Homo-oligomer: A and B are copies of this chain.
Amino acid sequence: MTQSADTALTIWLTGLSSAGKSTIARSVCEHLRAQSHRVEWLDGDLIRQRLSLGLGYNRHDRDENIRRIGFVAELLVCNGVIVVVSAISPYRATRDEMRALLPNFLEVYVNAPLALCEERDHKDIYRRARAGELEHVTGIDDAYEPPLSAEVECRTGQETVEQSVAKVLAAVERKLGSASI
């Protein structure tokens, strides 16, 4: 893969908290940068901090947050930057909206059983939800609608990070190879 300033690609990782989205995203970014691509990683937590302070976790606010990510992703993608998004993005309709908005959309379903995510619980949110300290936690009292036809599915409970990343990179190769860029 050679450098192209006109590469238009959005890699959108969706899944429960602690499913492994950020871990995969970080490694995918490193690999693509090593191939001289321009890459930006828009992480859900970063966007919450920088663009969405004040938004909560009800459906309206979650959707608004995703649309803000979409707006920024569009600006970047249209300028030849490969954008990697990692965000729970629980609602199918909203992800489909992103697919319609963003060129060369590659959906990556980071799939881990809730029990495993709860065991990892990197952000201590499942414990707090179970203790009744936190509401609107996806997978507990908020819905997660799994993709029906994601381009890639990473089963992070069964495969290594390297295997997951390799799947994503292979899909990127296919997408870029067939893309009208």
* Number of copies of this protein chain within its complex: 2
Interface status of A163 (Cβ within 8 A of chain B)? no
The residues in A between 44 and 95 inclusive whose CB is less than 8 angstroms from any CB of B are: 50-51, 53-55, 64, 67-68, 71-72, 75-76, 79-81
Chain B residues contacting A54 (CB-CB under 8 Å) are 54-55
Chain B residues contacting A51 (CB-CB under 8 Å) are 51, 68, 71-72
Chain B residues contacting A55 (CB-CB under 8 Å) are 54
Bound CA–CA A145/B179 (angstroms): 49
Distance between A85 CB and nearest chain B CB, rounded to angstroms: 13
Nearest B residue (CB) for A67: B50
Q: How many residues does chain A have at the interface if contact means C-beta atoms less than 8 Å apart?
A: 18
Interface status of A5 (Cβ within 8 A of chain B)? yes
The digit string for A124-161, where 1 denotes a CB below 8 A from any CB of B, is: 00000000000000000000000000000000000000
Chain B residues contacting A21 (CB-CB under 8 Å) are none
Distance between A158 CB and nearest chain B CB, rounded to angstroms: 35
Interface status of A40 (Cβ within 8 A of chain B)? yes
Given A38-B80, A80-B38, decide whether A64 and B53 contact each other with a Cβ distance below 8 A: yes
Distance between A141 CB and nearest chain B CB, rounded to angstroms: 24
Chain B residues contacting A5 (CB-CB under 8 Å) are 5, 80
Chain B residues contacting A64 (CB-CB under 8 Å) are 53
Bound CA–CA A76/B76 (angstroms): 6
Distance between A102 CB and nearest chain B CB, rounded to angstroms: 14
Given A38-B80, A72-B72, A79-B80, 5 more pairs with CB closer than 8 A = A40-B79, A51-B51, A75-B76, A79-B79, A79-B81
